[in-house]
Amino acid sequence: MRGDSSTARFESRRAASDYLQQLLLKPGKYRQSWERYVSRERRGTINQLAVAEVIARHLWSYPRGPADAEVTPHQLKDTVSRALTGRLLSRPALAMFIDAFGFSQHEADRLWRLWNGAATISVMTGTRAVPLRAEEQVDRVVGPRRHQTLSLHDHVHVGADARMDRARTLQVIEAIAPGVDRIPFVCDTNVLTLEVGQGGKELSGDVRQIGEDVFSTEILLARTLELGETITLEYWTSYRFPGDRGDPSEREFRRAVMRQIENLDMRVEFHPDQLPVSVWWAQWDGIDGEVIERQAVTLDNQYSAHRYLRSLQKTVAGFFWEWEESGASKTY
Amino acid sequence: MAHPQGQRAAAEYLRQLLLKPGSYRDAWQQRVARPRDGVINQLAVAEVIADHLRSSPLHHGGARMLPYQLRDIVSEALSGRQLSVGALQLFGGAFGFKDHELDRLQQLRMGSRRIAVFAGREAVPAEGELTEILGPRKHQTVSLHDHVYVGADGRIDRARVLQVVEAIDQGVDRIPFLCDTNVLTIEVGKGGKELSGEVRQIRRDVFFTEILLSRTLDLGETLALEYWVSYRFPGQLTDKAEREFRRAVMRTVSNLDMRIQFDQDCVPAKIYWAQWDGIDGGVVEREAVTLDKELSAHRYLHSVEKTVVGFYWVWGE
């Protein structure tokens, strides 16, 4: 993304750190390893001293050198803190985490790939996807969070008239409360229709305007989910963009994530008669903010661009593109 | 303009459609006294077409066509020597092929390399161990959706697969595709350029081909692929192999979503999500599941490693 190598290194270490945090927070054996040393658990927060305790105990059994045999959790706390905040995640520190928690081979491989700077498969985090007021409006209408997204595929088509035409979405959700029979669908005013396929019974029928340019409705699920149950949903969205090629909002497809989604695959395909001169993958500083990071991408032989992110949290990410000023499009 | 290789590929698919257990095979076999396994009786096929022409003549003289007059057309079509658009329409009309089957026949005839037909005579025997044939691992699956449909006749009919792969090596331009002999066709969509064209039989009951990607991936790059698989199960509904859909994972697959949907006219009495002790082993764990309003069952797993998982079901008495 940014050209300079120290920035790139910082970004890759931060991405590895983000993924490391997710592994430690994910319900399962890694979390249980450190939680057993915590007296009062705080939801969604890693107890760094407990993590240091796990690592210290591992080092006592498998010392890397004489000093490790007597290392205390307090001595490791700074290393853990720097690693988990992304300030400094050194090679030995990452190796220590991998060994102490026994991450699986593919998780360890991914941590190393992120650490080494594999830019394409990453974790994106921000501070806020939408302004606080808008988030409050959405929260008021949508209510408390009752599901989370485990996997999301946004496949978008841009037509021969250069307008975004339609998107197909495949989404796997997990209930984080009992009796989840619907999920909210929030969109802007450029969305014309929403059609549900497998996994969705119907729409609630009630489309509400919850902000100046934000609509909300609900997708009723094919079955009611109990806590921890999952379902796959498919739906199609059509758009009604005015066709103003100069308007940036007609030259971008973004996902604004107010909380967190995992495993996002985004693909934008252009009509062969109307190809952009440049396409970028980008992260924005909230829906009204500027692009804070961008990376040029090349279309494949199906005139499509694709990105996959392991996790996306409180941020806005997506593609934007430029048409040639004369109106003629690039030939690939 | 038809492609010579395309005509042969379309003819292979046409033969497989006529040999696949079900209504197409029944249509010509009921005119044969002693059907032989795996052999199409061309005169019987010509009779089906002649009957169809009599009931709805396509052109002058069609109504008076006798089976023996159609035998050359049938023979040329089934051998792939001459498979015209007209001949495809004749077969399609007479046997009532579905739109997607006709479309696939047309695409194959035009030389599409996005579809492969898995048939014994096309398969090239391969030598060596599976890992040797597949070569070193060059990609991993970061997300996989298997969406399967079981038809009104109780047979597994088709599957749609959406897969996100990540290159774990430089210059990954293809991924292997392994399947058993119940797979009839694979057709690649988004993310897949074409199939490698060569179908190899690497075990008695395992085929292998390669999906060429729409772009070459460098280390760490990802791509979303979509493809469709059609099946030719014999229709022996008591056979447990016809009552299960499984994923055998040789290494690791992350984020597996498996969904199976049944036709409303053929709903199982019971369905289970299970784990098997390898592809030839027994069920080691199972859990009864309930179908939803769409008569579908679904499971999602964060990660699957070196095991076999899937659904199996039991039909009512």
Q: Which one is predicted more confidently, B235 or A135?
A: B235
CB atoms within 10 A of CB B203: 14
Measured in angstroms, the CA of B215 and the nearest CA of chain A are apart by 5
Q: Sort out which chain B residues have CB atoms less than 8 A from A118's CB and list them.
A: 219-220
pLDDT of residue B61: 58
Element containing residue A235 per DSSP (H, E): strand A230-239
Nearest to B183 by CA among B204, B215, B168, B205: B205
Residue A3 is predicted with a pLDDT of 41
Three-state DSSP state, A176: coil
B129 pLDDT higher than 70? no
Decide if B221 touches A, using CB distance below 8 A.
Answer: yes
* pLDDT of B122 higher than 70: no
Query: Which pLDDT belongs to residue A12?
Result: 76
Per-residue pLDDT at A83 exceeds 90: yes
Q: How much is the mean pLDDT over chain A? A: 84
Instruction: Give residue A328's pLDDT.
Output: 44
- The number of beta carbons lying within 10 Å of the beta carbon of residue A326 is 6
Helices B67-79 and B85-95: angle between axes, nearest 10 degrees: 110
Percent of chain B whose pLDDT exceeds 70: 93
- Residues A329 and B3: their CA atoms lie apart, in Å, by 32
> Which residue would you say has higher pLDDT here, A162 or A19?
A162
Stretch A238-256: mean pLDDT, rounded? 88
Cα–Cα distance for residue pair A253/A228, rounded to 1 Å: 31
Q: Which domains does chain B have, with CATH numbers?
A: 4-112 (no CATH), 124-314 (2.60.40)
A206-220, A264-278, B18-32: which has the minimum mean pLDDT?
Answer: A206-220
Residue B300 has its nearest CB partner, among A104, A105, A230, at: A230
Q: What percent of chain A has pLDDT over 90?
A: 42
Q: How confident is the model at residue A191, as a pLDDT?
A: 80
Please state the rounded mean pLDDT for residues B103-118.
Answer: 85
Is the pTM value of this prediction over 0.80? no
Q: CB of A84 within 8 A of CB of A51?
A: yes
Can you give the pLDDT at residue A318? 96
Beta bridge partners of B186: B116, B229
The dihedrals phi and psi of B307, each to the nearest 5 degrees, come to -155, 180
Q: Do A306 and B223 touch (CB under 8 A)?
A: yes
Q: Is the ipTM here above 0.85?
A: no
Name residue A9's amino acid: R
Residue B77's nearest CA partner among B5, B14, B3, B154 is B14
Is the CB of B300 less than 8 angstroms away from the CB of A150?
yes
Q: How far is CA B169 from CA A12, B110, B212, in A?
A: 19, 35, 16
Per-residue pLDDT, B6 = 86
Quick: pLDDT tens for A111-159.
Answer: 887 788 754 545 666 666 666 666 676 677 777 889 999 999 999 999 9
What pLDDT was estimated at residue A131?
65
Q: How far apart are CA B163 and CA A318, in angstroms?
A: 20
Which residue of B220, B257, B296 is in closest CB contact with A121?
Answer: B220
CATH fold for domain A132-322 = Immunoglobulin-like (2.60.40)
Domain residue ranges of chain A, discontinuous segments joined by +? 5-119, 132-322
pLDDT reported for residue A283: 92
pLDDT in tens, B205-231: 788 899 999 999 988 889 999 999 998
- Classify B267 in phi/psi space as left (phi over 0), alpha (psi -120 to 50) or beta: beta
The values of phi and psi at residue B9, to 5°, are -65, -40
Q: Quickly state the pLDDT bin for A86 (edges 50, 70, 90).
A: confident
pLDDT value of residue A52 = 95
pLDDT tens digits, one per residue of B36-45: 877 899 999 9
Q: Summarize pLDDT for A283-320 with one digit per residue, the tens.
A: 998 888 899 989 999 999 899 999 999 888 888 999 99
**Residue B263 confidence (pLDDT) above 50:** yes
Query: How high is the pLDDT of residue A124?
Result: 60
- Closest-CA residue of chain B to A200: B294
- Lowest average pLDDT, out of A48-62, A207-221, B261-275, B297-311, goes to A207-221
A295 and B CB contact within 8 Å: no
* Residues sharing a CB contact under 8 Å with residue A172, sequence separation 6 or more, in sequence order: A149, A150, A151, A152, A230, A231, A232, A233, B145, B255, B257, B300
Nearest 10 degrees: Cα torsion A185, A190, A194, A198: -70
> Among candidates A198, A155, A256, which has minimal Cα distance to B292?
A198
**Mean of the per-residue pLDDT values of chain B:** 87
**What pLDDT does residue B48 have?**
94
* pLDDT of B224: 95
* Structure confidence by residue, pLDDT tens digits, A3-53: 445 666 677 787 788 878 878 887 678 888 999 998 777 766 899 999 999
Q: Shortest Cα distance from B92 to chain A (angstroms)?
A: 29
Residues of B whose CB is below 8 A from A109: 168
Per-residue pLDDT band for B314 (boundaries 50, 70, 90) equals very high
| Residue whose entry in the numeric block shows the structure tokens 């590929």 | B9
Report how far Cα A153 is from the mean position of its chain's Cα atoms. Answer: 11
Average pLDDT score over residue span A163-178: 92
Q: What percent of chain B has pLDDT over 90?
A: 46
| pLDDT, mean of residues B108-124 | 73
CA distance A231 to chain B (A): 6
